[in-house]
């Protein structure tokens, strides 16, 4: 006669949990990548566009000319021409 499978029939596998050091190293690597990308962006383009956000100025106009609206929708859909 057969028997039901039990835990003794199968060898015990090691747990598949991630080591905490691996998790911390992964998070640190992501943060370092974000900082490096930001640093290179500032080195290449400068901070002029950040200064625009810092200056108080007139509120943005929500009326968009038709040609800009067509161009923005064309780029938003992925078509460049």
* DSSP conformation letters of 8-71: GGSPPPPP-PPPHHHHHHHHHHHHHHHHHHHHHHHHHH-SHHHHHHHS--PPPP----HHHHHH
Q: What is the tens place of the pLDDT at every residue in 66-78?
A: 555 555 665 566 5
Q: What tens digit of pLDDT does each residue of 15-36 get?
A: 677 788 999 999 999 999 999 9
SS3 state of residue 74: helix
What's the whole-model pTM score? 0.44
SS3 77: coil
> How many Cα neighbours within 13 Å face the side chain of 67?
0
């Amino acid at each position: 006669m057969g028997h039901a499978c039990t835990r003794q029939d199968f060898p015990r596998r090691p747990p598949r949990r991630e080591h905490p050091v691996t998790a911390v190293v992964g998070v640190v690597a992501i943060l370092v990548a974000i900082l490096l990308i930001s640093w290179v962006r500032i080195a290449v383009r400068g901070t002029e566009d950040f200064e625009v956000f810092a200056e108080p100025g007139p509120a943005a106009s929500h009326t968009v000319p038709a040609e800009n609206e067509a161009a923005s929708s064309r780029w938003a859909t992925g078509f460049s021409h």
